[in-house]
Every structure is written in C-alpha cells, then in structure tokens.
Structure 1
Amino acid sequence: MLIKNFQANTIQDALDLVRREFGKEAVILKTDVVRNNGSRLFSVTAARDYDAKQVSSATMAPETSPVTPPRTPATGTARLESALLDVVIPELLTGEVKQLFLSMRCHDVESQLALDICRQLQRQSTTSRESLAKIMTAIAPQSIGLPENSSNIVFVGPCGSGKSSMLAKLATEFVFHRKQKVTLQTLDNFRPGAEEEITNLTEILDLVVETNGHKSKPRPISHHLIDTTGVVLGDHSGRELLESELSNIHNRFTVLVLALTTGWTNIRHYIEFARPLGIDAVALTQLDATDSCGTVLNLAVGDYPPLLCLSDSRLPNAVIYDFNVEVCLDKLIGGESVE
C-alpha cells in the first residue's frame, strides 16, 4: 500500500491533489490543519494499493479452507465519500455550513467536533446564528463553580502559565465578593520572589478584612490557596515530586492553570501529562480570545476536566469570567449570522 501526504492552501485543493495522483481508489486516512512558516495549510494523508489484482491474489485463502464470498466492492466515488466522512472531511457539507466547518478548523476546533456541529446545523430548517447557538449550548456544559465549603485549593501547571496570578484573582474573589477568609501558601521553592508575593498578597487581603470589619464580616467558611512549582511537560520526576507533596493535602481541589497562547495541541498533551495530579478543574489565561476560542470549545465539550474560569491575561489585575458559549460562538463566526 502506498501512503502519501498532500498539502494545499484549501481543503478542496488538497483533495484534488489526492484524486489527481491516486484516482478514485484513494482512501483518505487523516486530515489536519498544519502551520508552515506562520501560514495555515490543509493536510490530507491518503493511501491506495500498489496493484489491486496482485494484493487480491496474494491474500487469497488456500483451497482447503472455506472461503467467504467478498462483498460487492463499493464504487470509487462511494469509497471516497465514506472515507471523507470517517476522517471528518466536509465533502457533503454545503454552502455556508461548509465554510463554518473550515472556520472552526482554522480556529483549532477538533475535526470530529466541528463536523458534528455542522451536520446538526445542516439538518436544521435554517442555518441562522440562533440555530448554531442552540446546538453549541446543548453540547457545551457551563463552567463549574468554585468550592462552596472550606477547602484546600491547589494551583498546578507549567512554568509561566499564570498560577500565582490566578491564585491572587481567586483569593480576591473569595474576600471581596464572597466575604470568605482565605489563607495563602506557596510550595514553589525555585522561582525567585514566590514567597514574597504570597506574603504581600496575604497582608493586603488581611487589611481588607480588618478595614471592612463589622460592615462585611467574613463568613466562617475559609479556603487555603496553595501555589506550586511549575512543571515542564515531560518532566516526570518533577511531576512525581509534586504528586507526592499533594498527597499530603486533604480535602483538595486541584486547578490546572494553562496559558492559551501555547496552542491546542500543547494544551491537550499537558492535560494528559498532568492527570496523575488529580485535576479537578482547568483555569485558562489568554491573550487573544479569537485565536483561542477553538481550544476553549474543545475543552468544554471533550473528555477533559471541567472548565473553572478564564482570564484575559496572566496579569494579577485581569478579570476572570465563566465560559460562555455565546462569546465563543462570536469569535468563531465573527459575531455575524452564518446565513
């Protein structure tokens, strides 16, 4: 069997290259969107037999063995269409729905998820924004909430993802809005100034509680927020050390903090790498909501820990907000109707 990868500026051009070289007997194995020097290319991996007659002869069963009559082979066109559907090529999508699929793929929405959404949309009587919003709302759960009862909230993740600033933002949320007391701690013994950051933030939050005093007395519920040392993807010894430290923390709620600027592929790999830490939720810091909306949708719908919150940046004063399908949808289609 001959396997070859074809790349072009559009998915249609890539498929044309497949048909031109492999003909109607081509079977599509994989499709993807790749980056080449900053530009996006559509990649199609296809296969065909070197010689159909030779392969058929070589695999024929011995005469003494019972032979099951082969099924009638599908036509080249039918085989190609079936393969396209299996690997998420939107050949049977039409018009604006097809363009929506390509837009979602360009925003790193996973192929199967993008195709499922577009198939549902194409079955609707109208391909309006409202129809698309209903579909996405039905498949994408909302963010989970912060723990209501006293807990130990631990922030883990790679270096520079925004763990310390996310701790500061959530500590502020507990103190200012929920009127709950927090205590802070860091296990980060490597980053310069980590201990000083925690000390300064503790003094500020304690001052807020004392100043408000009788006006906004904190409830008896309290949370212990814990920062940790960043662990690089692939550093298994560092992860095992952190896992050992976390095993001594009871009533733990572990938040994985990731920066959306690293791209969906890296984020997916890091989530799998961090699963042994017992991740309860994912918090995201981001610099460009448009480029990261596909990643957010993948996380919300896929088999990953639930989303806790998002933040506009890794700065401590940046706001945090819940995942919202409408915002994600606006970024995917530019806030316009898909009609």
Structure 2
Amino acid sequence: MKRILVTGGLGFIGSHTVVELQNSGFDVVIIDNLSNSSIKVLDNITSLTGIKPDFYQIDLRNKQDITHFFNTNKIDGIIHFAAFKAVGESVKKPLDYYENNIGSLVYLLQEMQHKNIDNFIFSSSCMAYGTPEKLPITEQTPSNKAASTYANTKQIGEEIIQESCDAYDLHAITLRYFNPIGAHKSAKIGELPNGVPQNLVPFVTQTAAGIREQLSVFGNDYPTEDGTAIRDYIHVVDLAKAHIIALQRLLNKQNKQNFELFNIGTGKGSSVLEIVKTFEKATNQKLNYKIVDRRPGDIAAIYADTTFANEELKWKAEKTLEEALKSAWEWQKNQ
C-alpha cells in the first residue's frame, strides 16, 4: 500500500482528497498546523472512511520538524495543499505569504531530494495566469504579472518545482484549480474557514444561515454581462478526484514529462450574481446582499479550457453548480 503525505490535509480541499485517497486504497498521513482548519475534521474523515489517517501537527515553516518527520516516515508521494490563500490578506501581508507558501515548499522539495521521493502533486491556482488576455484559458496561455501576492506565490512555486524537476529528476504535476466549492454529500466535511470567510460561497452560506448579516458583492462595474466578477466554480469532490488520477499517473510512470501542468475546472464561467441566484433557487433561501467597491487583487473574469485534462488525464468535472451550492448549504446547516 502506497503511503501518501497530504499537507494541509484537514483543510477544505485536503480533507476531501484524503477521503478519496483512502477510498482508493492509499495509506494517508496528514500534516496540518491547524491555522485554518480544525482537529475535528480528522474524526469526520475517519467516520466517512472507517480508517483514521496518521496525523502530525507540524508547521511547515519549521525545517527541523519537517526533517524529523521524513526521518521517521517512509513516504511514496506528496500532495501539497498547505498554504495561506486569502487574496486580500496577501496584498496586506506579503512577507507572511512568501515565508509560508514558498519556504515550506522549498523545505518539502529538499526532503524529497534527500529521501529519493519521486512523486509530487502541487496545489496551484488559476490566479497563476495573472489577468488573462483571452478566455477560456488553456495550459498554453502565457502567465501575466500576478494580481496579488498569493497568486505570485503560486507562480514562483511552480517555477521552483519545475527547476527542481530538471535539476534532481523529480516528477511533479501541478494542478491549477479554478474555484472549488461545495461539500461532501454526507455533510460531514466542507469549507469552514476560521473567522470571516475570504471565499464567496462560505460567505453566501453563512449569510443565509444568519451568521453574517449581509453578503458583500465586490464590484458591479466589471466588463461582464451583469458587471460582477466571473469565475469557474468546480465541486470540491470533482477536484479531489483529479488529485487521485494525477497521483496514479505519477506512480504508474505514465507522465510524459518530469513536470506537467493541468487546468482543473468546469470550463464554464459564472458571475457572482449568478451564484447568488443559483443558490437561492437550489436552497429556497433569500440572500441579503449589497454591492460594494472592488477588492484589491481581484480580476474581472477567468475560466478554464479543460480539454487537456479531459483528454490526457481522462478526468472531467461531473457535478453541476446547483449540486455544489446545495451541498455547501447542507454542510452549513450541519454546523
């Protein structure tokens, strides 16, 4: 049984990926510093799969702790989620983001090199493309200047991984996600950020639940059909399954290059107001929202061309926007 390290494995995407890994027969060990997650998620994962993953509370900025972990654990592959991810916060605290997102990545890659671990999946973002000149975005779309520090850490991270693959013969796949939303059908795991949500859908569900008084829609003067920003929203379970397929590609030596990159999205863009209306329709909940100024670091529109992932990975997003929003609401109600 292959033993896979999942960093940030108690977070939103990480926890869903751990469930899919265990359901696919992998032995999973999680590293998480609990800065934006809860230890309760470990029990919820266990209740879904019947297997409790090994768990280490480690901050990946601590090089000594990482070295000790790898000295005492045999690892066959790594899926790296652990990172700060709030766009607005990254613009205000750039040094924190560079230290956390870049430093921890370097330490992990160094341990891979020392221990001859060959399989690495990197959690990247469509924001690594910068502001696109043409939509939809393919993997050949040139990356423009990053619109935020968070996005820049993903651009730099990808460059570090690619150079490491060239220099040390590592094998890596970068998945550039678009906007993950939704929750597991059991409503036992989902997106539960600490403090005020930075992402749209948890703010939507918390507003519907009365936790937040009002949803702020950041800008209605973008060059889009209804003036609000457009994103490609993908169900988190579809996204988690893409990681399993990418990992198996590496383990089975089916990758065609040492460094590969895939877009993971639905191929369809939805505006903020479309999310609001679809949520209201799917859940019969009326949302209290207001239009406010744009948020620094945000771009007008971005959505994927997923042809390469569909054909090369034999992966395709299956769940609808309505399904994703309904599952997010069921998760919220379960809190």
TM-score by length of 1: 0.27
**Greater relative contact order (Cα < 8 A, sep 6+):** 2
TM-score by length of 2: 0.27
- Whose Rg is larger? 1
